[in-house]
Structure 1
Amino acid sequence: MSDQLNEITAKQCKNAPAAYNDLKVLFLNCTLNRTPILSHTEGLIKKAQAIFESVGASTKIMRPVDYTIPAGLGLDMSKTDEWDKDDWPLIQKEVDACDILILCTSVWLGEKSSVCNRTLERMYGYTHQFNSKGQYRDYDKVGATLITGNEDGVKHCAMNILFSLSHIGYTVPPQADAGWMGEAGPGPSYMDEGSGGPENDFTNRNTSFLVWNCLHLARMLKDNGGIPAFGNQPNEWQAGCQAGMDSPEHKG
């Protein structure tokens, strides 16, 4: 952390407005690099992780690229004729257990990574299921994103990721994205020596805002029983559903 981030974080954590030790935070690092290869995105993730943990929230980082994740919208693609193995249900179990999901990616050709696309697609495949209140299953969870790269695209990726999370039921707080971009072109990446990334106070400020806004919103949702189950229960609508279709939107 930069000296400024260290100082501000220590002060804020000492005067936190609530307790957060019952909150679970999951970072899905959609890097293209499998563990243990260096992930520049994970360098930024660890900044946010340190703040979450400093106020007692539990955290976990997973790299979807470490797992076998087939294309498809099935809950378990290994049960289809197309694939013999599917690790996605293992990741979905962690998604289900978290209160805050931070979907993280590097930027390639101005877009989020292919791993991030696959992750969102598999999450989308579960959206025909409901929670105990009859809402879509991801209601009452908080979503945000962290992004790194050495080319343009942070805000473009954030727009897509945050819309996608909101669309499937996540609640997105203010300032729910933070990122770092090096010099445009083949310049240094976030963790490269001399990049200036870890010391960049603009990135550090936005990362801190993201963490605290996620904590505030998750606390409010949990303490108030989540989003009221009124006017947002799919079973009250026919919505043009047809036999054999999980959802009117799953027509791909």
Structure 2
Amino acid sequence: MEGTPQPPPRQGAPVSDTASAPPQRRYDDLRALFVNCTLKPSPERSHTQGLIDISRGVMEAQGVRVDQIRAVDHDLAPGVYPDMTEHGAASDAWPVLYQRVMDADILVLAGPIWLGDNSSVMKRVIERLYACSAILNDAGQYAYYGRAGGCLITGNEDGAKHCAMNVLYSLQHLGYAIPPQADSAWVGAAGPGPSYLDPGSGGPENDFTNRNTTFMSWNLMHMARLLKDAGGFPAHGNQRAEWDAGCRFDFPNPDYR
């Protein structure tokens, strides 16, 4: 009947084209860093790069300033100290790359699956991120607080969820905020076969992967926006310097006055 109020659309029902209208929020003051943990040095083709490019395009369309590192191109010394040249390494590129990490509101670690697990380069990058995890920010929190993290995984063998769990756990343990659906992956048929960018793989056209990559990209932007507008993650109950001084943030401590 004309004029009769219509019920709201049920959850999961198709929505109108207005859902794709640009949001009111702005993202052009955000920075994102993608770290490609492929085993292939530049300029070799990286299938992981193909998936990075989709997420990067979504963010750049909203004005996000995007930086990118192919980790294998840099001399990252093994170890868990901020500068491994102070611990016997002949050289170490991490101190310079760390500044690029800290300039970013969003960090996306991306890499391939090998033997059902993350690449050795991915593990090296996470170790070097961990090397700086004890550094404190101006609020006395661990340095990575106030930033959003996500991951992208590619391969033609099983293990995408296992790899994503490892990366996302590592990022949140270091202090990154992980939004909903903060990972995406493409995995081809088990066994030898085409990889993501190979002709006939179906990877770039895969709706499941494209949807998840888009959702991940937007959720990272939303999370970074919330954190930036709030002035970072609230600094109470998580300040290492205060804890070391005796403050226990409601944890019983009769010795603290």
Fold conserved (TM > 0.5)?
Answer: yes
- Give the Å deviation of 1:174: 0.2
Indicate whether 1:168 and 2:190 are aligned.
Answer: no
Letter matched to residue 74 of structure 1:
Y
Indicate whether 1:149 and 2:140 are aligned.
Answer: no
TM-score, normalising length: structure 2: 0.86
Q: Which residue in 2 is equivalent to 1:34?
A: 41
Q: Which residue in 2 is equivalent to 1:250?
A: none
Q: Which runs of 5+ in 1 are unaligned?
A: 1-9, 240-252
Residue among 61, 76, 79 paired with 1:54: 61
Please list the CA deviations of residues 17-70 of structure 1 after superposition, one character each: whole Å capped at 9, or x if unmatched: 311000001000000000100000000000000000001001112111001111
Letter matched to residue 198 of structure 2:
D
- Give the Å deviation of 1:12: 6.3
- Give the Å deviation of 1:236: 2.7
Indicate whether 1:232 and 2:238 are aligned.
Answer: yes
Q: Which residue in 2 is equivalent to 1:244?
A: none
Q: Is the 8 A contact 2:140 2:242 kept in 1?
A: no
Indicate whether 1:207 and 2:208 are aligned.
Answer: no
Letter matched to residue 130 of structure 1:
L
Q: Distance in 2 between matches of 1:139 and 1:103?
A: 17
Alpha-carbon distance change, 106 to 91 in structure 1, aligned in 2, over 3 angstroms: same
Please list the CA deviations of residues 178-220 of structure 1 after superposition, one character each: whole Å capped at 9, or x if unmatched: 0000000111100000100000010000000001100111101
- Give the Å deviation of 1:127: 1.1
Q: Distance in 1 between matches of 2:175 and 2:233?
A: 10
Please list the CA deviations of residues 54-112 of structure 1 after superposition, one character each: whole Å capped at 9, or x if unmatched: 010011121110011111112111223x2111011121111010000000010000100
Q: Which residue in 1 is equivalent to 2:114?
A: 108
RMSD: 1.6
Please list the CA deviations of residues 136-173 of structure 1 after superposition, one character each: whole Å capped at 9, or x if unmatched: 00000100000000000110000010000000000000
Residue among 72, 76, 79 paired with 2:86: 79
Following TM superposition, the consecutive aligned residue runs of length 4 or more in structure 1 with deviations greater than 4 angstroms are 10-14
Indicate whether 1:98 and 2:100 are aligned.
Answer: no
Q: Which residue in 1 is equivalent to 2:251?
A: none
Q: Is the 8 A contact 1:143 1:170 kept in 2?
A: yes
Q: Distance in 2 between matches of 1:16 and 1:189?
A: 35
The higher radius of gyration belongs to 2
Q: Is the 8 A contact 1:29 1:41 kept in 2?
A: yes
Residue among 191, 198, 206 paired with 1:192: 198
Letter matched to residue 63 of structure 2:
G
Letter matched to residue 124 of structure 2:
R
Q: Distance in 2 between matches of 1:16 and 1:89?
A: 37
Letter matched to residue 159 of structure 2:
G
Q: Which residue in 2 is equivalent to 1:69?
A: 76
Letter matched to residue 187 of structure 1:
G
Alpha-carbon distance change, 65 to 154 in structure 1, aligned in 2, over 3 angstroms: same
Q: Is the 8 A contact 2:116 2:158 kept in 1?
A: yes
Q: Distance in 2 between matches of 1:178 and 1:16?
A: 22
Specify the SS of the correspondent of 2:95. Answer: helix
Residue among 23, 27, 42 paired with 1:16: 23
Residue among 108, 133, 144 paired with 2:139: 133
Residue among 118, 121, 128 paired with 2:124: 118
Letter matched to residue 154 of structure 2:
T
Q: Distance in 2 between matches of 1:16 and 1:188?
A: 37
Q: Distance in 2 between matches of 1:125 and 1:19?
A: 33
Letter matched to residue 75 of structure 2:
T
